[in-house]
C-alpha cells in the first residue's frame, strides 16, 4: 500500500518533469521574475551536475596510476553525483514552480547538504592520496 502510493507519487512527479506545461494548470501565474529566478537555479544545478560528471571522467582519465579500486570508486561517485544533481534539478524546479503558483512556501531540501558533504569527503580523500604520493 505505502509502496504503491510512493510509486504513484513518483510517477506523477516524473510526468510533470516531462510536461511542465501541466504545472500551469495549478494556481495563478507568479511574477515572471520569480519563475526566471527558479529557472536560473535549475540551470545552476545542471552546471553543477555537469561539473561532477566532468570530474568523474577526469579522475578516470588523468589518474591512471591511482589504485584501480579507488579510481573506479571516485569516478563512479562523481558520475552518480552528477546524475543525481541533474535529476534533483528538474525535481526542485517543478516543486518550486508549483509552490509559487499555489502561494505556498518554497520547498526545503537536504540535497545541497548531502552533495556538499559528499564532495567534501571526496576532496579530503584526494588530498590524503596526493600527500601520500598515491596519484603519481
Output the nine-digit C-alpha cell for 10. Answer: 513518483
pLDDT digits (tens, 9 = 90+) for 73-110: 999 999 999 999 999 999 999 999 999 999 999 999 89
Output the nine-digit C-alpha cell for 40. Answer: 536560473
Residue with cell 555537469: 50
Where do the domains of the chain lie? 32-131
Output the nine-digit C-alpha cell for 74. Answer: 571516485
pLDDT digits (tens, 9 = 90+) for 121-132: 999 998 998 888
Kindly tell me if the per-residue pLDDT of 1 is higher than 70. Answer: no
Task: Tell me the pTM.
Answer: 0.81
> How far is 96 from 44, CA to CA, in rounded Å?
15
pLDDT band at 50 (very low <50, low <70, confident <90, very high): very high
pLDDT digits (tens, 9 = 90+) for 54-79: 999 999 998 888 888 989 999 999 99
DSSP state of 27: S
Q: What is the pLDDT of residue 136?
A: 61
> How far is 2 from 55, CA to CA, in rounded Å?
38
Output the nine-digit C-alpha cell for 36. Answer: 526566471
83 Cβ contact partners less than 8 Å away, ≥ 6 residues apart: 49, 53
Q: What is the pLDDT of residue 135?
A: 67
Amino acid at each position: 500500500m505505502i509502496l504503491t502510493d510512493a510509486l504513484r507519487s513518483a510517477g506523477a512527479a516524473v510526468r510533470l518533469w516531462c510536461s511542465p506545461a501541466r504545472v500551469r494548470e495549478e494556481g495563478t501565474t507568479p511574477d515572471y521574475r520569480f519563475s526566471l529566478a527558479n529557472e536560473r537555479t535549475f540551470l545552476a544545478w545542471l552546471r553543477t551536475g555537469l561539473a561532477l560528471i566532468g570530474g568523474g571522467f577526469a579522475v578516470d582519465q588523468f589518474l591512471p596510476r591511482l589504485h584501480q579500486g579507488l579510481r573506479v570508486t571516485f569516478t563512479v561517485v562523481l558520475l552518480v553525483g552528477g546524475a543525481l544533481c541533474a535529476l534533483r534539478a528538474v525535481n526542485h524546479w517543478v516543486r518550486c514552480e508549483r509552490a509559487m503558483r499555489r502561494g505556498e512556501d518554497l520547498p526545503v531540501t537536504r540535497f545541497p547538504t548531502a552533495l556538499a558533504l559528499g564532495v567534501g569527503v571526496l576532496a579530503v580523500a584526494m588530498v590524503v592520496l596526493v600527500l601520500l604520493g598515491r596519484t603519481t
